[in-house]
Amino acid sequence: MKTLDYYVVDVFTDSRYKGNQLSVVYIVEELDIDQYYDISREFGYSETSFVNYSTTENVFKVRSFTQAKHEVIGAGHNLLGAVCLALLKKWDIFKTHGTQPWVMIKDDKIPLKITEQGGLPYVGMKQRPAQIIKTVPAELIAQAVGLSVDDLCLNGWDINIVKTEVAHLMVPVKNRELLKKAISNKSLLKEASAKFGFEGCYLFTTDHPDTNILAEARFFNPGIGIDEDPATGTAAGPLAGYLEKLGYINKDADFQILQGEYVSQPSIIHAKVVNDGVWVSGSSVIVMEGKLYL
């Protein structure tokens, strides 16, 4: 019977049982596509990452899948957790990279910055510069998230699709009370996603009493099987880039985005906009590990 090592890490946090849960499976060679799907469904988290170090390419490679048979790309919690795990387990995955470490997520090269905070690896992942793709009517989205059009009026900002690597919908919400009241109408969100060409819906508000928090957010992505995600790096990057384009924040400053409060898994995502992209950063902790039987 073939066995694989697996780990569960909590991502975008420095404490166990907070942050976004991620299962990580170490593989020696590529699995059959149905094995990726079955294992991801068995763990039951929003995403499962499969990792290996390629000695022919000299790079740490990551592939990630949701329970709904969708392969995830981009520099999100699925990648951050995998890299943090490698560092915590002291796997030598950057031995040929010199001063600029990097990894592969499916076919994309992601540059990294690696430091330490509080005894844990602190990993920055570089996303591409944010692009505003198009505006989506507030009337349509309000109904899909159980709020009114007036509830989505924050500083006069539009509801826009914004992309760094993955195109997500940025939905401004007037205050935290309304953010908490939002619900996901799965069928309407799926219809809007298909019609306008975005993946997930990132509701956010800048109404937070902690001045260290740039925004508090919630993420719904029923189209790929995620009811509500506790931390979404691929949406936090576009949000930071969007707010910089709006003139709300400056480049080269580190900001914190709070997510996951309403699923009891609070997460802190750090984001910094620079001239040639957006850095999304955080830490992770190992919660469990064991053997998986194929």
Band of residue 12 on the pLDDT scale cut at 50, 70, 90:
very high
CA atoms of 40 and 61, how far apart (whole Å):
17
Calculate ∠ Cα 226-139-166, nearest 5°.
Answer: 40
pLDDT in tens, 217-267: 999 999 999 999 999 999 999 999 999 999 999 999 999 999 999 999 999
Please name which of 164, 163, 126, 130 lies closest in space to residue 246, comparing C-alpha atoms. Answer: 130
Strands 131-135 and 108-117: unpaired
Averaged over 85-97, what is the pLDDT?
93
Return mean pLDDT, the chain.
97
Report the pLDDT value the prediction gives residue 130, as an integer from 0 to 100. 98
Band of residue 193 on the pLDDT scale cut at 50, 70, 90:
very high
Report the pLDDT value the prediction gives residue 63, as an integer from 0 to 100. 98
Q: In this structure, how many other beta carbons lie within 10 angstroms of the beta carbon of residue 156?
A: 7
Q: For residue 135, what are the CA distances in angstroms to 117, 160, 181, 182? A: 38, 4, 23, 20
**98 pLDDT above the threshold of 90:** no
**Torsion over CA: 106, 33, 81, 212 (sign):** positive
Report the pLDDT value the prediction gives residue 184, as an integer from 0 to 100. 97
Q: Name residue, tokens 């195109």.
A: 167
pLDDT in tens, 106-130: 999 999 999 999 999 999 999 999 9
Averaged over 176-202, what is the pLDDT?
97
Report the pLDDT value the prediction gives residue 95, as an integer from 0 to 100. 85
Strands 201-205 and 167-172: parallel
Q: Which residues of 170-195 are buried (b: 16+ CB within 10 A; e: fewer)?
A: bbbbbebebbeebebeeebbeebbee
Averaged over 59-63, what is the pLDDT?
97
Report the pLDDT value the prediction gives residue 258, as an integer from 0 to 100. 98
**Contact present, 62 and 25 (Cβ < 8 Å):** no
**80 pLDDT above the threshold of 90:** yes
Strands 59-65 and 48-54: antiparallel
Please name which of 237, 174, 249 lies closest in space to residue 205, comparing C-alpha atoms. Answer: 174
Beta bridge partners of 122: 115
Report the pLDDT value the prediction gives residue 97, as an integer from 0 to 100. 85
CA atoms of 280 and 272, how far apart (whole Å):
7
Q: What's the distance, Cα to Cα, between the start and end of the chain in Å?
A: 7
Report the pLDDT value the prediction gives residue 99, as an integer from 0 to 100. 84
Which tokens go with 193? Answer: 């996603």
Q: Is 225 exposed, middle or buried (0-12, 13-18, 19+ CB in 10 A)?
A: middle
Predicted TM-score (pTM) of the model is 0.96
